[in-house]
Amino acid sequence: MNILSSIVEKSTSLVSIPFVVEKTAKVIPMPLQIKGVHLFLKAKGKVWKGKPVPVFNESPIPDVSTLAIEDIDVSNPFLFKQNMWGSYFKRLRDECPVHYQKNSPFGPFWSITRYEDIVFVDKRHDLFSAEPIIVIGDRPEGMAIETFIAMDPPKHDVQRQAVQNVVAPKNLVEMEGLIRSRAVDVLDNLPIDEPFDWVEKVSVELTSRMLATLFDFPYEDRRKLAYWSDVIAASPETTGGECSADEMFLGAAEMATYFTKLWREKEAKKAAGEEMGYDLISLLLTNEKTKNMIDRPMEFMGNLALLIVGGNDTTRNSMTGGILALNQFPDEFVKLKKDPTLIPNMVSEIIRWQTPLAYMRRVAKEDVEVNGKTIKKGDKVVMWYVSGNRDERQIEQPDEFMIDRKRARNHLSFGFGVHRCMGNRLAEMQLRILWEELLKRFDNIEVLDEPEYVQSNFVKGYTKMMVKITAKAE
């Protein structure tokens, strides 16, 4: 009981858990530490009353026109699930583009809803901090992992530079062939002329395969990557999701076990003088600054979690969103089949139209005036990319899906400024490969029912979408 009692003792004397974990990293294996923290928090929950975790019960969301402007709460995790977000954000853009909600279950927060204002906030990291977390709610207690998406410069810049090469275009060229062959294998085995769930069979499977490729992760266990991503990003207190703290801690411990093993295997390979691959861990091991990252568990876990979540929900939901968009705008499908060179432009349009991550959150570092409203130092500020991407002031006919849209690349989904999405080229490549291979094989992909959506105010995505595909005539 030495490990646990040491953690408990130090934690109760107000030393933060991450500090303890850092200090003990060399002696105690990471998965054990995570389990220890979990047990400690559970025990603590029984003795002291911790901060209550919000409970979300679904009820129908009212028509936005029936609400007073101050009562609009776009943090409601059912707004996307019930597909009601469009009218809510349009009203905010038109009537109150910088909007304050003071009573949300996540505490008070500002919403920035117009394109131009979002670009301003995103660029000004000197005025708006990304720390300590980029979702609306607070961090679940004990999960203070360090990820550079939630760090300010200069620390952010150092951390990001250490890992960004794994998804840099040069490295992607090395991986494209393998990613394509794994995608082709999925598409060649899809059922023809019978209903199946596109989310399960294509979107989740392809993103899991891609992540397994990126990490050189045991291929047969690849679906674990998607599972960990789901549990990390879906706690009720952060995004209004459905995952419990128990699930999250067990997931994190399992993830730490897998990746510690993977790290040690690659490390042994390196020590034996074998050639290293282009996967993430090999790149980290061959970089002076990061070769000992495993001794800094919060950073190690943070970087892995960021890459797993960042590479999962986003691309997965754009893979589903593209199919849905072409079903809602069938003329565009005709246009695409006539001219497949439109694929790269369509990929940008899909990423805009879907906006798979709805926002990023900041905290004002000083009093700042944005579009006539004064945001006070310390206030939470949410940049709703999902709204800016439909801003009529910036984008013509924003609700239309147009695969040949002019300046389609000028969307907000990747964010702007120092936190701009690092995996943008990987995402674009995967979607391009998917569509190139789909057009070679299938004549039609028909969406059979309304899709089912994720419960979250952050992930704008799908849990199920039944489709039927028709093979191309020989």
Partner 1 sequence: MGSITFIEHDGNRHEVDIEEGSSLMQAALDNSVPGVDADCGGECACGTCHVIVDKKWASVAGIATEVENQMLDMTPEKAATSRLSCQVKVTEAMDGMVVRLPEFQM
Q: Answer left, alpha or beta for residue 462, where phi above 0 means left and psi between -120 and 50 means alpha.
A: beta
Is residue 352 involved in binding partner 1 (CB under 8 A)? Answer: no
How does DSSP assign 133-161, residue by residue?
-SSSSPPPTT-----GGG--TTHHHHHHH
Query: Which residue in the set 53, 250, 418, 466 belongs to the binding site for partner 1 (CB under 8 A)?
Result: 418
CA angle 40–41–43, rounded 5-degree value: 65
Site for partner 1 in 170-229 (CB under 8 A): 170
For residues 168 and 186, which CB has a smaller minimum distance to partner 1 in the complex?
168
Please identify, among the stretches 168-176, 211-219, 289-297, 455-463, the one whose residues bind partner 1 according to the rule CB under 8 A: 168-176
Pair type for strands 109-112 and 98-101: antiparallel
Query: Which residue in the set 157, 246, 295, 443 belongs to the binding site for partner 1 (CB under 8 A)?
Result: 157
Residue 168 Cβ, how far from partner 1 at the closest point, in Å? Answer: 6
Is residue 269 involved in binding partner 1 (CB under 8 A)? Answer: no
For residues 312 and 413, which CB has a smaller minimum distance to partner 1 in the complex?
413
For residues 122 and 230, which CB has a smaller minimum distance to partner 1 in the complex?
122
CA 294, CA 29: separation in Å to the nearest integer?
Answer: 10
Q: What mask, x for binding partner 1 by CB under 8 A, covers residues 219 to 258?
A: ----------------------------------------
Residue type, 345: N
Is residue 165 involved in binding partner 1 (CB under 8 A)? Answer: yes
Residue 29 Cβ, how far from partner 1 at the closest point, in Å? Answer: 34
Is residue 161 involved in binding partner 1 (CB under 8 A)? Answer: yes
Peptide bond into 154 cis (omega under 30): yes
Please give the C-alpha separations between residue 470 and each of 204, 320, 448, in angstroms, as whole numbers.
Answer: 21, 17, 13
Residue 411 Cβ, how far from partner 1 at the closest point, in Å? Answer: 8
Residue 407 Cβ, how far from partner 1 at the closest point, in Å? Answer: 7
For residues 44 and 425, which CB has a smaller minimum distance to partner 1 in the complex?
425
CA 63, CA 71: separation in Å to the nearest integer?
Answer: 12
Is residue 160 involved in binding partner 1 (CB under 8 A)? Answer: yes
For residues 302 and 415, which CB has a smaller minimum distance to partner 1 in the complex?
415
Of 183, 208, 229, give the one whose Cα is nearest residue 429.
Answer: 183
Of 263, 342, 301, give the one whose Cα is nearest residue 148.
Answer: 301
**Alpha helices in 219-364, H assignment, sequence order:** 223-232, 236-239, 245-271, 280-285, 297-310, 313-328, 330-338, 343-354
Q: Are 128 and 421 in contact (CB under 8 A)?
A: no
Is residue 117 involved in binding partner 1 (CB under 8 A)? Answer: no
Is residue 128 involved in binding partner 1 (CB under 8 A)? Answer: no
For residues 237 and 428, which CB has a smaller minimum distance to partner 1 in the complex?
428
Residue 123 Cβ, how far from partner 1 at the closest point, in Å? Answer: 5
Of 24, 19, 14, give the one whose Cα is nearest residue 4.
Answer: 24
Site for partner 1 in 375-414 (CB under 8 A): 407, 409-410, 414
Helix/strand/coil for 381: strand
For residues 352 and 390, which CB has a smaller minimum distance to partner 1 in the complex?
352
Residue 160 Cβ, how far from partner 1 at the closest point, in Å? Answer: 7
Query: Which residue in the set 22, 53, 107, 123 belongs to the binding site for partner 1 (CB under 8 A)?
Result: 123
Please give the C-alpha separations between residue 396 and each of 69, 91, 103, in angstroms, as whole numbers.
Answer: 26, 18, 34
For residues 245 and 347, which CB has a smaller minimum distance to partner 1 in the complex?
347
Residue 418 Cβ, how far from partner 1 at the closest point, in Å? Answer: 6
Q: Are 343 and 436 in contact (CB under 8 A)?
A: yes
Structure tokens that stand for 162 in this block: 């250490």
Of 108, 103, 107, give the one whose Cα is nearest residue 51.
Answer: 107
Size of the site for partner 1 (CB under 8 A): 23
For residues 123 and 464, which CB has a smaller minimum distance to partner 1 in the complex?
123
Residues at the site binding partner 1, with contacts judged by CB under 8 A? 119, 122-123, 153, 157, 160-161, 164-165, 168-170, 407, 409-410, 414, 416-418, 420, 422, 424-425
